[in-house]
């Protein structure tokens, strides 16, 4: 196993200061733990200038490398697995690092169409890929637990790229800012309150008919904007302590994500997922805030909803985990974030010897916490009732490194910036004993701080 190149860099430089130095390179991406107050995350990862990209649309996958461009009709997950295999493993010695070179990018909710046969009734009006992943040979990593930071480069990284990126990352010259970010209109929803409630009651009818147990219904908000999306990310990250925050920018679109939710992590064969189901607002009054948390903790409805998704994800993980290894060490934990309390459960397993992280991701995608149960029927109902495709919303941003490790988010509290428009979504799981007014209010609670932060 070839040795990873590791160069310590000053931890005193903030994540945003470091990212500022590299963000004008092609396809910059930042995975930001936001100094996670719940102890979920300890590392920030950032990189740019990938040596290859895999971009999937409904016609197939384009593989772009230094050698040229190829069009493939094969399963995009198989192509991703092939690229990681060609990269080969690396050895970081005694330094603990989450990412040692590999894939960084996003997997849209609608990539589920590659996995399952789904209807096509919702309007697809945001023209971004189903999957967009780069192969990155270097990264900047900050470890908030040990207060250390490193520049790392995979053995396959050329000396020219390694030296150029290291110089850029350690230079005192910061890149010039682009235009500031501002909205040119207010956010408008793609459904009225009456339309939301009509869709809510149709879901209740489906549940009573036995089609499903739970369906996640979301409304989409859209506004016009101008300026640099990086400023939007910085503005929102100051207001939100989200442990799975991310920023990703391409020539065509940007993703601004302040997600609190992990999808799946794989670390040395150990697997973990942490679904969120159940939400209450925060309050500046400590007593009222505690009451909200206790109401969530003791809510029979939220516990039942959470348990449905735990069972679904146990089944999904079992497809790629050793028989009998999947367990639930934490059920119905309450975690507090800047604007909401969430009910979070933890499911763990051990990857089977003949499976890898890509197999696990494909077999579990998209995350059950944002579809409903059973998953396929819930996704069919979502396609029927939501006016527009979700694209990146409820998909994942992830890294899959050359040593088989992976971590991924659920793209909630996420904004898509494309063609002068910015989109965000608010949704929630509907079950038999839900209340239409409360469910509608919950969709607003989840994203109002994002829309207000940009306004």
Active site members: 261, 277
Residues 48-61: b if buried by 16+ CB within 10 A, e if exposed: bbbbbbbbbeeeeb
- Residue 304's alpha-carbon distances to 10, 133, 165, 375, in angstroms, are 47, 36, 50, 16
Q: Please report the beta strands in 171-230, taking only residues with DSSP state E, as ranges in sequence order.
A: 182-183, 188-189, 214-226
Report the 3 state secondary structure along 351-374.
ECCCCCHHHHHHHHCCCHHHCEEC
For residue 67, what are its two tokens? Answer: 């050698």
Q: Are strands 372-373 and 340-350 parallel, antiparallel or unpaired?
A: unpaired
CB 311 within 8 A of CB 375: no
H or E segment to which residue 261 belongs:
none
Distance CA 316, CA 362 (A): 10
CA distance 20 to 267: 29
The C-alpha torsion from 247 through 398 and 345 to 436, rounded to 10°, is 60
DSSP 409: E
CB 245 within 8 A of CB 33: yes
Contacts of 2 (CB under 8 A, 6+ apart): 88, 89, 90, 91, 155
Residue 151 to residue 137: CA distance in whole angstroms: 11
CA 426 remoteness from chain centre: 15
- Sort strands 52-57 and 43-47 into parallel, antiparallel or unpaired: unpaired
Q: Spell out the alpha helix ranges (H) of 181-299.
A: 193-208, 229-237, 286-297
> Would you say the C-alpha torsion 389, 392, 393, 394 has a positive or negative sign?
positive
DSSP 3-state percent helix, strand, coil across the chain (nearest 5): 30, 35, 35
Asked if residue 55 has a cis previous peptide bond (ω within 30° of 0), the answer is no
Give me the phi and psi of 226, to 5 degrees please: -145, 155
């Amino acid at each position: 196993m070839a040795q990873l190149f590791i160069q310590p860099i000053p931890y005193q430089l903030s994540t945003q200061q470091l990212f500022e130095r590299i963000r004008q390179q092609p396809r910059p991406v930042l995975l930001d733990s936001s100094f996670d107050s719940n102890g979920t995350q300890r590392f920030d990862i950032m990189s740019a200038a990938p040596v290859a990209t895999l971009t999937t649309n409904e016609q197939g996958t384009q593989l772009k490398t230094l050698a040229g461009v190829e069009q493939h009709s094969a399963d995009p997950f198989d192509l991703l697995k092939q690229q990681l295999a060609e990269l080969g493993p690396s050895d970081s010695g005694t330094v603990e690092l989450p990412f040692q070179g590999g894939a960084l990018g996003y997997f849209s909710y609608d990539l589920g169409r590659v996995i399952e046969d789904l209807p096509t009734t919702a309007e697809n009006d945001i023209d971004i890929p189903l999957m967009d992943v780069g192969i990155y040979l270097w990264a900047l990593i900050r470890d908030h637990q040990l207060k250390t930071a490193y520049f790392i480069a995979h053995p396959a990284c050329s000396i020219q790229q390694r030296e150029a990126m290291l110089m850029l990352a350690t230079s005192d010259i910061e890149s010039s800012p682009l235009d500031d970010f501002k909205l040119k209109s207010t956010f408008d929803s793609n459904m009225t309150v009456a339309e939301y409630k009509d869709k809510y009651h149709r879901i209740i009818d489906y549940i009573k008919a036995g089609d499903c147990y739970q369906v996640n219904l979301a409304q989409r908000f859209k506004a016009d904007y101008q300026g640099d999306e990086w400023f939007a990310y910085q503005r929102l990250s100051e207001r939100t302590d989200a442990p799975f925050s991310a920023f990703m920018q391409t020539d065509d679109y940007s993703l601004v994500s302040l997600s609190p939710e992990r999808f799946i992590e794989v670390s040395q064969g150990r697997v973990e997922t942490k679904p969120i189901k159940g939400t209450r607002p925060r309050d500046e009054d400590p007593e009222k805030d505690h009451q909200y948390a206790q109401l969530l903790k003791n809510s029979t409805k939220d516990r039942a909803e959470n348990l449905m998704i735990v069972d679904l994800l146990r089944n999904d993980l079992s497809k790629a985990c050793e028989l009998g290894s999947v367990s639930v060490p934490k059920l119905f934990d309450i975690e507090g974030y800047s604007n909401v309390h969430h009910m979070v459960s933890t499911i763990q397993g051990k990857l089977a010897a003949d499976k890898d992280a890509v197999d696990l991701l494909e077999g579990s995608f998209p995350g059950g916490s944002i579809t409903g149960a059973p998953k396929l029927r819930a996704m069919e109902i979502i396609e029927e009732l939501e006016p527009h495709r979700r694209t990146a919303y409820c998909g994942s941003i992830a890294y899959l490194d050359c040593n088989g490790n992976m971590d991924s988010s659920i793209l909630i509290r996420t904004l898509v910036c494309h063609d002068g428009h910015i989109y965000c979504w608010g949704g929630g799981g509907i079950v038999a004993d839900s209340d239409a007014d409360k469910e509608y209010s919950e969709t607003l609670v989840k994203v109002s701080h994002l829309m207000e932060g940009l306004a």
